[in-house]
């Protein structure tokens, strides 16, 4: 199956093409970066260009994986809208992937981890996962203050890409696994695992996972 993955949840995003087959086999063909701020103008043309570069067209796509959040309200919405439209037209499955899950599996740590993303306002998005060799089991995801994070993360390894947050956690004496921000190749592999497990959503059911209430989203400047 040719799988298209997209992440438009942050300041910078990416798309990926992958050939996925039996078992967990998912060979990434290419990851193409997307510059933040213009996702709505870039995403569809970049998808078309990436397909054409490798001799494919949209009808060759067998499935989709997309980051459903948490992250930028505008960015997440752009990615979901594009994937919804393509999946609906092509009648192909979609796997919605949490960016926190992508952070969790990108670290070296196994067993219990707390994946963390900066949410602004002195808050963080935190996902508690049990990570094993072939994936991750979500325990819970929530919006926390930094002080709440330090309490909630006791007994786990904190997996984080943000250097400032990593230092906060280190200074509190908690174990830290600092990573590079996950790209769409990680989203593709997680998406394929979900498709194989039957964890798919229809285009009309695909929704964002902001971890903030609607009032908080719309009152936050720059979202």
Q: What are phi and psi of 162, to 5 degrees?
A: -75, 120
Amino acid 175: pLDDT = 97
To the question of pTM greater than 0.85 for the whole model, the response is yes
Angle at 220 between CA 205 and CA 82, to 5 degrees: 30
CATH code of residue 122:
3.30.420.40
Average pLDDT over all residues of the chain: 92
Same structural domain, 114 and 141:
yes
What the block records as the tokens of 182 is 């996950």
Same structural domain, 173 and 186:
no
* CB atoms inside a 10 Å sphere around CB 153: 23
Same structural domain, 72 and 144:
no
Same structural domain, 174 and 188:
no
- Measured CA to CA, the distance from residue 97 to residue 6 in angstroms comes to 10
Q: What is the pLDDT of residues 39-81, one digit of tens each?
A: 888 999 999 999 999 999 999 999 999 999 999 999 999 999 9
Residue 55 lies in a domain: yes
Same structural domain, 186 and 93:
yes
| pLDDT(218) > 50 | no
- Measured CA to CA, the distance from residue 112 to residue 178 in angstroms comes to 15
Domain coverage including residue 170: 108-178
Q: What is the pLDDT of residues 84-140, one digit of tens each?
A: 999 999 999 999 999 999 999 999 998 999 999 999 999 999 999 999 887 899 999
Distant-in-sequence, close-in-space partners of 140: CB < 8 Å, separation ≥ 6: 127, 128
* Over residues 180-203, mean pLDDT: 95
Same structural domain, 174 and 158:
yes
| pLDDT(216) > 70 | no
Q: Which pLDDT band, with edges at 50, 70 and 90, does 222 fall under? A: very low
Nearest to 71 by CA among 117, 114, 121, 103: 117
Longest CA pairwise span in the chain (Å): 52
Q: How many domains does the chain have?
A: 2
Same structural domain, 189 and 91:
yes
The per-residue DSSP string of 21-79 comes to -STT-EEEEEEEEE-TT-HHHHHHHHHHHHHHHTT--GGGEEEEEEEEESS-HHHHHHH
What percent of the chain has a predicted confidence (pLDDT) above 70? 95
- Cβ atoms of residues 183 and 16 within 8 Å: yes
Same structural domain, 166 and 215:
no
Same structural domain, 27 and 82:
yes
| pLDDT(223) > 70 | no
Residue 103 lies in a domain: no
Same structural domain, 141 and 212:
no
* Over residues 14-21, mean pLDDT: 96
């Amino acid at each position: 199956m040719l799988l298209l993955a997209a992440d438009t949840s942050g300041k910078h995003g990416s798309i990926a093409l992958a050939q996925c087959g039996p078992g967990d086999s998912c060979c990434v063909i290419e990851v193409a970066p997307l510059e933040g701020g213009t996702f709505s103008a870039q995403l569809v043309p970049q998808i078309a260009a990436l397909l054409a570069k490798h001799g494919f067209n949209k009808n060759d796509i067998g499935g989709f994986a997309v980051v459903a959040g948490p992250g930028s309200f505008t960015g997440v919405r752009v990615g979901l809208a594009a994937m919804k439209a393509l999946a609906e037209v092509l009648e192909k499955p979609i796997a919605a992937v949490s960016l926190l899950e992508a952070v969790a599996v990108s670290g070296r740590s196994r067993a219990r981890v707390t994946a963390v993303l900066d949410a602004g306002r002195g808050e963080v998005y935190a996902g508690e996962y049990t990570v094993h060799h072939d994936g991750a089991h979500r325990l819970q995801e929530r919006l926390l203050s930094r002080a709440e994070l330090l309490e909630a993360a006791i007994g786990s390894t904190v997996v984080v890409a943000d250097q400032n947050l990593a230092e906060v956690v280190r200074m509190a004496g908690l174990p830290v696994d600092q990573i590079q921000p996950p790209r769409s190749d990680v989203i593709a592999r997680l998406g394929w695992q979900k498709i194989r497990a039957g964890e798919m959503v229809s285009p009309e059911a695909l929704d964002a996972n902001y971890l903030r209430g609607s009032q908080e989203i719309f009152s936050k400047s720059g979202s």
